[in-house]
Amino acid sequence: MAFHWDDMRVFLAVARAESISGAGRALKMDAATVGRRISRLEERLGARLFARSPRGYALSDAGQRFLPHAERAEQAILQAGEELGGQTGQLSGQVRIGAPDGTANYLLPQICAAIAAENPQLEIQIVALARVFNLSRREADMAVGLSRPASGRLTVQKITDYHLHLAASRAYLAASPPIREVEDLGGHRIVGYIPDMIFDKQLDYLPDSWAARISAASNSVSVQVNLLRQGAGVGFVHDFALAFAPELEPVLPDRLALRRSFYLIRHQDDRRVERLNRIAARLIAGIRSEVARLEAEAARRRQRA
């Protein structure tokens, strides 16, 4: 049985968005047209691919069986486009990169801007979410993660380690009791994550005794940094974010430090897509370089403090 690639493309968009309207936005297509295309595909197959409900479109058993075939077709199309367009050496098309908001705010903009400048026909989308990305649903083509996934048909590559230190604004430190020892932190306001919104154990920075004293919290790294900039208290800050917050000063830099890691996570089947391999390699190199550069700058700030 022959299938039109456009129909399979629409099927994949609905499967990933779990709604007709969401697929229409992704495809820049009228929702009614998306619905007709799905109905036509189901008629050709003689099977219902989706279970419709007020909550959206969920894959039926037949849809689950059809999904890997559609994904293989998609990969073949991408691979063909890469090979045919490879004569220029430039990347094209669209790539969606998922990342925690700290990475998305403080690292990816400059890295992706450089990649885009080298490849004018490449559209880069950065998705910042305070949760783990579902690559099986193609929420992103690749994602920067904070820990290795425990399951799924995924490939994982460690990118680099990164570090965090305590910091507070100069105004807060000037107006508060001095902090010379770890014990001195007991009388200070703490900025951190909302405890029940920590989506990865690597984000659980604070000792239990500190967490009980959080006075300002957010599920967003960038919001936490801005709270600290406004004098809300003392909190851990990524070294690579300090360059964007000149108001902050290190606190007990030789006593308290954390080390965490970044991982690049991809769908296993994408290993055969050279276009994505090249983007992944460029992204990894960019993150490693930018973390090293910004952490070296943070180290110089600590030495001057």
pLDDT per position as a tens digit, 112-136: 999 999 998 889 999 987 666 665 5
Which CATH number applies to 5-85? Answer: 1.10.10.10
Amino acid 64: pLDDT: 87
CATH 3.40.190.10 fits 161-259+297-304, yes or no: yes
pLDDT averaged over every residue in the chain: 87
Amino acid 130: pLDDT: 67
Amino acid 140: pLDDT: 82
Q: How far apart are alpha carbons 276 and 279 in whole angstroms?
A: 5
pTM: 0.73
Going through 20-86 in order, the beta strands assigned E by DSSP cover 50-53, 56-59
Amino acid 6: pLDDT: 81
The segment(s) of the chain belonging to CATH 3.40.190.10 are: 88-160+262-295, 161-259+297-304
Checking if the pLDDT of 221 tops 90, the result is yes
The segment(s) of the chain belonging to CATH 1.10.10.10 are: 5-85
Q: What is the architecture of the domain spanning 88-160+262-295?
A: 3-Layer(aba) Sandwich (3.40)
Q: How far apart are alpha carbons 85 and 280 in whole angstroms?
A: 18
* 3-class state of residue 185 by DSSP: helix
